[in-house]
């Protein structure tokens, strides 16, 4: 859940008439419920985008942090030389069927929900109510509200979990020294799993 909240841009993979396609849509996840024990993803798409008409199961990919790991960062290199570069990552795959949000009140609440999610921690947050109502109404006619109750959720990650704890600590340190957002985020993941095997 945390991965989806931190990286809400979903790659929605679907089978369409002309083959497989991917759409990139920001989605928020609602709290777990008896109806959707894995949560429900909510958002909207352009009415011109045929994905909202898809009745098949969808694959949703939420790509998290990732980083190139240099061979010289592994302690084992100093001992045996038996090491190669690798690439660490964290990703979540969700599966579900798309439903259209057609309740008027709920549909109009979707853009507000999404906007509030992204604006809430910013200085001077913008609100949907800041825009003229007729402008919002015109835009609302061009979108379709969607929700996808999750039926399967799989986290996949590679964070040097087969290396020793000290080697993983060293790799995390090297990632931080590169001073990149992705490297720092990957270092956080590695450090959070230091004592797991």
Q: Is the pTM of this model over 0.85?
A: yes
* Alpha-carbon span 87 to 112, nearest angstrom: 37
Cα 60 to chain center, whole Å? 9
The CATH architecture of the domain made up of 2-160 is Roll (2.30)
The confidence score (pLDDT) of residue 165 equals 87
The confidence score (pLDDT) of residue 80 equals 82
The confidence score (pLDDT) of residue 141 equals 92
* Alpha-carbon span 64 to 182, nearest angstrom: 9
Contact predicate 92/153, CB 8 Å: yes
DSSP H helices, the chain, are 2-6, 75-79, 104-119, 133-140, 165-177, 181-192
From first to last of its 197 residues, the chain has per-residue pLDDT tens of 788 989 999 999 999 888 999 999 999 998 877 778 899 999 999 999 999 999 999 999 999 999 999 988 987 776 888 888 999 999 999 999 999 998 888 888 888 999 999 999 899 999 999 999 999 999 999 999 999 999 999 999 999 888 888 888 999 999 999 988 989 999 999 998 776 65
Helix or strand or coil: residue 175?
helix
Smallest CA-to-CA distance from 112 within 51, 47, 44, 10 is with 44
* Alpha-carbon span 14 to 138, nearest angstrom: 28
| Per-domain residue ranges of the chain | 2-160
């Amino acid at each position: 859940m945390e991965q989806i909240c931190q990286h809400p841009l979903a790659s929605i993979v679907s089978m369409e008439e002309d083959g497989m396609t991917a759409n990139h849509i920001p989605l928020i996840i609602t709290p777990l419920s008896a109806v959707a024990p894995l949560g429900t993803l909510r958002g909207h798409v352009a009415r011109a985008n045929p994905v909202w008409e898809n009745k098949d199961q969808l694959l949703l990919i939420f790509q998290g942090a990732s980083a190139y790991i240099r061979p010289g960062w592994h302690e084992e290199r100093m001992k045996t030389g038996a090491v190669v570069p690798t690439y660490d990552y964290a990703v979540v795959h969700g599966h579900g069927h798309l439903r259209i949000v057609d309740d008027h009140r709920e549909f109009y609440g979707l853009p507000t929900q999404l906007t509030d999610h992204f604006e809430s921690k910013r200085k001077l947050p913008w609100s949907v109510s800041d825009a003229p109502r007729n402008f919002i109404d015109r835009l609302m006619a061009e979108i379709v509200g969607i929700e996808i109750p999750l039926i399967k959720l799989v986290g996949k990650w590679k964070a040097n979990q087969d290396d020793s704890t000290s080697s993983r600590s060293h790799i995390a340190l090297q990632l931080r020294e590169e001073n990149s957002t992705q490297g720092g985020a990957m270092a956080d993941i590695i450090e959070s799993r230091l004592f797991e095997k």
